[in-house]
Structure 1
Amino acid sequence: MPNRLADATSPYLLQHADNPVDWWPWGPDAFDEARRRGVPVLLSVGYAACHWCHVMAHESFEDDSVAAYANEHFVSIKVDREERPDVDAVYMEAVQAATGQGGWPMTVFLTPDKDPFYFGTYFPPEPRHGMPGFRQVLEGVYAAWRDRREEVGEVAARIRADLAERAAVYDVGAGVLRPPAEEDLYQALVALSRSFDEKRGGFGGAPKFPPSMTVEFLLRHHARTGSEAALEMAGRTCEAMARGGIYDQLGGGFARYSVDAEWVVPHFEKMLYDNALLLRVYLHLWRATGGEQARRVALETADFLLRELRTPEGGFASALDADSLDPATGKSTEGAYYAWTPEQLTAVLGEEDGALAVSLFEVTGTFEHGSSVLQLLGDPTDTEAYERIRARLFEARAERPAPARDDKVVAAWNGLAIAALAETGALLDRPDLVEAAVRAADLLLAVHLTADGRLLRTSRDGRAGENAGVLEDYADTAEGFLALFAVTGDAEWLGLAGGLLDTVLVHFADAESGALYDTADDAEELIRRPQDPTDNAAPSGWTAAANALLTYAAYTGSALHRTAAERALGIVGALAPRAPRFIGWGLAAAEALADGPREVAVVGPADDPATAALHRTALLGTAPGAVVAVGEPGTTEVPLLADRPLLGGRAAAYVCRHFTCDAPTAERAALAESLGARQ
């Protein structure tokens, strides 16, 4: 019989709807029940594509005896971290502080007042490798709750106090932090060069995550300063990832991270946010260098998004699972969909092409049963054979059992996808990608945006979830809408972005310091209000908001939004020299601030090829964070376009900083030179 998760919109919660554990969704009813019964809360946090979440579910949550014990002695709450990043953030901070590490599934025991007092991540069913078995943990925690309640309360109180003290680190007084200076950006580059892996690309050692935001900073820094070191680090990292096993050499798209330092063995989840960010990074690398590999990877990643993550409603699903059914064993296995043996390649391609594929794709046999993912370590000398082999292997792989898809739509990650697809479609002559971006944006408007202008974080099958949007949802959705405005010239997107950013200023910003919180001032109260400016796998809400605020101010001339962006970017100056890998999106925004950013107004008849040519040239510009507006002469609804006449009856482009403009030009070459666009 299904438990209380049966009506959830989260695929992760639905995976647990038939567990014998009597799960509750996060909410006041669950804590009221724990209070009524006088029992502690078992909080389990994970997400649908999480391999070890599946393992713990099969081992423990589907075990009748474990479930019976949990049901008798606890109120059990299951949370999808992607639906409730605020809940995940505050308790993950506690787990990391207590244990020195974190991860998912996250297992936390709480009082009925939401205070944590015991932590862990994955627990095996029986004691193993120094870890207690999960049943042992349940019994030990309940015994402490029953016999040493006062001690448990003291522990919980200390943890709450410690979290409050940690939260104060970003609660800076007005004027303490300043916008990053040129020296801060240089020191960030120096620090990155120290951790750069010159042999294998990327930064640091294993595991290696795609450094999307850091690469964006490096590309912008190169464009502004001419630093060849910045471009080399960006280019070598992108090339290494594109050739490695972390990239799907047959179907496009990137896995979540590489478990090794060489980008060979991926952790096989494919996340929307990673692929949206990397799509944009490879597009911008192509824009800077014209490299064919960057162009190919950008287009293949865009096609992957449309083919495998687009939902029937036009949004983009959160992730593809790491695991899939291995027909050879009949078991769900991580990476089974993507791995090949030399014998399997030969069976599909025949002896000659099979041997070529083994050498071309570096099939190393490093996995179980002699299989491995494909890598492209050298450039194919016979491109026709390469494309033929890829196509045949892709078709053969499509016959395998596919990984499950977490098909909930997350507003923030769709905002990132909208921005990436809109820009890629415009720059690489793929109008279908722009259309896909518009359709996804329309879904966010229809389903996620409420009548009072607030965002809901998730939806599934066109039905909105109940969880309020967090800062990254507002910031990344605004980013997507601003990119759509730049590409389409439709001023509605600019207005919608402005509405979301106004909500950020009213409900997420600290009026005194300019600091930003991850949750709104009227959101559910947790044990602390989460706040973190550092990037993780995706930009932090804080730095994403700063970037969008700066862009919006450049379009509109709004001093309010620019000042808010500058104040928010104060944290970048503090963190850039010592932790640049964790503030990359803020560094990218700081590069835009240092450059102006430049404001480009293209005016001309909509059906004039000269207008389109100037618009495209402006979009090809590499000036950091440059904003581009296109419209008819006499446009008044977009401040950047107001009072911009034609030039001798011809379409014209105006390049400005702070609304002070150079002489207009009707020549593409002159515009390209002023914006650093390749001819």
Structure 2
Amino acid sequence: MAAPEPAESGQPAESGRPNWPGASNALGSEPSAYLRQHADNPVFWRPFGDEAFAFAAERDVPVFLSIGYAACHWCHVMAHESFEDQETADYLNAHFVPVKVDREERPDVDSVYMAATQAISGEGGWPMSVFLTPDGLAFHAGTYFPPIPLPGRPSFRNVLEAVHEAWLERRDAVEQNARGLAANLADAPFAGVVRLDGPPEMLEASLLPEAVALLARSEDPDAGGFGSAPKFPPSAVLEFLIRHAAAPSDTALAARDMAARGLAGMARSALRDQLDGGFARYSVTADWSVPHFEKMLYDNAQLLRVYAHWARLGGNEVFPAGEAASVASRCADWMLGSLKLSNGALASSLDADTVVGGVHHEGATYLWTPESLVDALGADDAEAVATMMNVGAEGTVSELGSPLHPGRALTDAESRLWERVRPVLLASRNLRNQPARDDKVVAGWNGLALAALAEAGAILDRPDLVAAAEAVAEYLADVHWNSASQVLVRVSHDSRARGIGGLLEDYAFCADGLLALYGVTGATRWYRFAEELILAACSRFVENGKLADSAGVSAQVFNAQGQQTALDPFDNATPSGAAGFAGALLSFAAYSGSHEHRLMAGNILSLLPPLATRAPRIAGWLLATAQAALAGPVEAAVAGPDSPLLRELHTALLKSPSPGLVIAVKMDDGAFPAGEVEVPLLLHRSGAPDGSAQVYLCRDMVCERPLSDVAAVQSRLAAMAAGD
């Protein structure tokens, strides 16, 4: 049976076609590629907004809300089967107001109606199909509905007819159930519970070893990762495990081993494109052997950072640092080669499907048969590669073939063979039809990429990646940030910001990325931009002492969540906005000396105790931030004249795995641009009396005796990580 992407009364005219004013599809000029994909449907789609709901109230019909995203395979399937079908479209247009939402553009809409869908149907995923009252309350929902009934799943037409009949015949019951569901969502655990106007609870260090032990219970020690199929890359959890491994403790080795198995399992699997280095969204099998082929910026940004951090940690025998560095480098190359736009920003995703002969085929670009390998390589190399990369006569994905993946470490001889044939296979594959790209730019995801590119560039000695990070930062400053209104816009397309103001996650991820870029480059403008974002976020998302994921939510979303502001602390495909904000606040407080912002970070971390001891897999970034907080975080100020020693000291800091380390650089002979002032961590820091550069290692702005020797700095950082 087909499955969704996992997770995540008017009357017809006599002709059967609607004839009300303005009856047309209204998606043609939308910035979202997903919405534009549906612009030619016979369904009279409207974007989410007051106009659509007012139209539903005027006609006294429900809203049919369809939520998906451009790279979603089953979204394409349902579109072809139902939304492109004229008869289905006529019925939908006659009895509903159809509204289409890109979950990547409007995660605030997706989040509340996903919760409603899970409560109503017991499942969640995309495409998501939700039926709403004209004031935005959900009363029926599901995910993918086929064109004909399947075991356990009614047809889409059956559902439409049943909902229409219930709306006409049982309206009171429908509206009462909708109000009850909204009330239940308002009472959900953690809904709006973070208060930032009081002293935080003390963070117990014992929580982190407990989380490691609990994670071990759900680990798949054979394939790596956690849980069973479908299996998603646990990026935030891996970041926590790497940070925990860097701080000596009784559970540090267990954390290191778990991280190694997860990183090795993904790197050597079909989840990672063995030819171009990008990672797919998830695997439909527990051993990572059959990916779901869409490639998302947010996954690859997070995994680039994690693999670079593992290389910085030094790896282990299960997954060596050199292999991790290679994985990270090729992942970065894929991001810049496949997603980088001419304006310097990064596009959102590549589609799961490839269109061949007008038909969508999942993963068609990436699949190989023994015959296609022979065509590309010749018989001898093809046979060896087929054996090495698990390509058999019967395709593991479809009749089109199997993805290339060894599922294990290659021998030295196999590695030499692979490095020889890989460019040939990639060139051959590039001649095939390619998946479509969603060119919309999402602020928060570019913030994740900004951090990853900056840090990976420093760790891997690749200044081109740092330059790419600077280009992303320039784009965010020029296109997404309105300095006059202090608003960060979430989405842009064709270098023009459009749509809603950014969510908490957008401000948080961008600020975190900018602080990472400042630590690598020492360019004060990036620190100041991060500061502006953090101060704007504090003003925008904190009301009456409570933190929320969004500000100025639509009336419909507000109604659907029981007329409450909402905060979701759980990581999903990306860290939660709350966790991301806690991390950004912690780093900012370390640079600025602001106890107010340090206390705010501590208040958000108060969410951690019940999550760490019950569900650490959905609290990875909170755990990673807590690890940084318990380490200090350590503040490093490098000061002195521009010299080889200053650059060596700076590089040593950038390559230190100290959890949460923040780095600032001050050149004694450098002048600040007009209007700029020093980063507070650098105030009163200078080179040594003999004129050489030195490093101040501090906690909470209290610094130790400065050091001018690289080995001494490295030794002291290790001791501080151990709690000394």
The counterpart of 2:686, out of the listed 634, 645, 648, is 645
User: Which residue pairs with 1:491 in the alignment?
Assistant: 524
User: Which residue pairs with 1:320 in the alignment?
Assistant: 350
Range 664-673 or range 587-596, more displaced: 664-673
Q: CA RMSD in A?
A: 1.8
Q: Measured at CA, do residues 10 and 553 of structure 1 come closer, stay the same or move farther in structure 2, by a change above 3 Å?
A: same
Q: Is the 8 A contact 1:87 1:526 kept in 2?
A: no
Range 222-231 or range 629-638, more displaced: 629-638
Pairwise mapping of residues 91-130 of structure 1 onto structure 2 (< 5 A)?
91-130=113-152
The counterpart of 2:450, out of the listed 415, 418, 436, is 418
User: Which residue pairs with 2:70 in the alignment?
Assistant: 48
The counterpart of 2:610, out of the listed 574, 580, 605, is 574
Range 194-203 or range 621-630, more displaced: 194-203
Q: For residues 216-272 of structure 1, give each alpha carbon's deviation from its aligned partner in whole angstroms, at most 9, with x where no partner exists.
A: 101111111251111000011101100011010000011001111111110111010
The separation in 2 between residues aligned to 1:466 and 1:522, in whole angstroms, is 13
The separation in 2 between residues aligned to 1:267 and 1:179, in whole angstroms, is 42
User: Which residue pairs with 2:8 in the alignment?
Assistant: none
Q: For residues 22-46 of structure 1, give each alpha carbon's deviation from its aligned partner in whole angstroms, at most 9, with x where no partner exists.
A: 1111111111111111111111111
Find out whether 1:446 has 2:478 as its counterpart: yes
Pairwise mapping of residues 222-621 of structure 1 onto structure 2 (< 5 A)?
222-226=245-249, 227-289=252-314, 291-326=321-356, 331-364=359-392, 365-369=395-399, 371-376=401-406, 377-382=408-413, 383-450=415-482, 451-512=484-545, 515-520=546-551, 526-527=558-559, 528=561, 529-606=565-642, 608-621=643-656
User: Which residue pairs with 2:219 in the alignment?
Assistant: 196
User: Which residue pairs with 2:661 in the alignment?
Assistant: 626
- Find the residue that maps to 1:225 and give its secondary structure: coil
The separation in 2 between residues aligned to 1:384 and 1:581, in whole angstroms, is 37
Deviation at 1:605, TM superposition (A): 2.2
Find out whether 1:86 has 2:108 as its counterpart: yes
Q: For residues 299-336 of structure 1, give each alpha carbon's deviation from its aligned partner in whole angstroms, at most 9, with x where no partner exists.
A: 00000000001111111111111100347xx6321111
For 1:621, give the aligned amino acid. S
Q: Calculate percent identity across the aligned residue pairs.
A: 50
For 2:370, give the aligned amino acid. P
The counterpart of 2:166, out of the listed 141, 144, 150, is 144
The separation in 1 between residues aligned to 2:53 and 2:432, in whole angstroms, is 44
User: Which residue pairs with 2:7 in the alignment?
Assistant: none
Q: For residues 595-632 of structure 1, give each alpha carbon's deviation from its aligned partner in whole angstroms, at most 9, with x where no partner exists.
A: 000000011223x1111111000111111000001111
User: Which residue pairs with 2:713 in the alignment?
Assistant: 671
The separation in 2 between residues aligned to 1:565 and 1:649, in whole angstroms, is 38
Range 668-677 or range 246-255, more displaced: 668-677
Deviation at 1:521, TM superposition (A): 5.1
Runs of 4+, deviation exceeding 3 Å: 167-170, 172-177, 521-525
The separation in 2 between residues aligned to 1:424 and 1:199, in whole angstroms, is 28
The separation in 2 between residues aligned to 1:326 and 1:674, in whole angstroms, is 59
Q: Measured at CA, do residues 615 and 176 of structure 1 come closer, stay the same or move farther in structure 2, by a change above 3 Å?
A: closer
The separation in 2 between residues aligned to 1:477 and 1:375, in whole angstroms, is 34
- Find the residue that maps to 1:107 and give its secondary structure: strand
User: Which residue pairs with 1:209 in the alignment?
Assistant: 232
Q: Is the 8 A contact 1:184 1:573 kept in 2?
A: yes
Q: Measured at CA, do residues 510 and 171 of structure 1 come closer, stay the same or move farther in structure 2, by a change above 3 Å?
A: farther
The separation in 2 between residues aligned to 1:373 and 1:119, in whole angstroms, is 35
Q: Is the 8 A contact 1:326 1:337 kept in 2?
A: no
Q: Measured at CA, do residues 158 and 615 of structure 1 come closer, stay the same or move farther in structure 2, by a change above 3 Å?
A: same
Deviation at 1:438, TM superposition (A): 0.8
- Find the residue that maps to 2:448 and give its secondary structure: helix
Q: Measured at CA, do residues 590 and 88 of structure 1 come closer, stay the same or move farther in structure 2, by a change above 3 Å?
A: same
* TM-score for both structures, normalised by structure 1: 0.96
Q: Is the 8 A contact 1:317 1:407 kept in 2?
A: yes
The separation in 2 between residues aligned to 1:252 and 1:185, in whole angstroms, is 32
For 2:325, give the aligned amino acid. R
Deviation at 1:523, TM superposition (A): 6.4
Find out whether 1:8 has 2:30 as its counterpart: yes
The separation in 1 between residues aligned to 2:611 and 2:543, in whole angstroms, is 19
For 1:503, give the aligned amino acid. A
For 1:669, give the aligned amino acid. A
- Find the residue that maps to 1:202 and give its secondary structure: coil
Deviation at 1:380, TM superposition (A): 3.8
The separation in 1 between residues aligned to 2:180 and 2:694, in whole angstroms, is 64
Point out where structure 2 has 5 or more consecutive residues left out of the alignment. Answer: 1-22, 316-320
For 1:201, give the aligned amino acid. G
Q: For residues 490-530 of structure 1, give each alpha carbon's deviation from its aligned partner in whole angstroms, at most 9, with x where no partner exists.
A: 11111111111112212213544xx5311025766622333
Q: Measured at CA, do residues 82 and 522 of structure 1 come closer, stay the same or move farther in structure 2, by a change above 3 Å?
A: closer
Q: For residues 325-379 of structure 1, give each alpha carbon's deviation from its aligned partner in whole angstroms, at most 9, with x where no partner exists.
A: 347xx63211111111111111110112112211222224423337211112232
For 1:62, give the aligned amino acid. E
Q: Is the 8 A contact 2:200 2:602 kept in 1?
A: no
Point out where structure 1 has 5 or more consecutive residues left out of the alignment. Answer: none
The separation in 2 between residues aligned to 1:612 and 1:176, in whole angstroms, is 40
Q: Measured at CA, do residues 179 and 497 of structure 1 come closer, stay the same or move farther in structure 2, by a change above 3 Å?
A: farther
Q: Is the 8 A contact 2:641 2:691 kept in 1?
A: no
User: Which residue pairs with 2:47 in the alignment?
Assistant: 25
Deviation at 1:179, TM superposition (A): 4.5
Q: Measured at CA, do residues 522 and 169 of structure 1 come closer, stay the same or move farther in structure 2, by a change above 3 Å?
A: closer
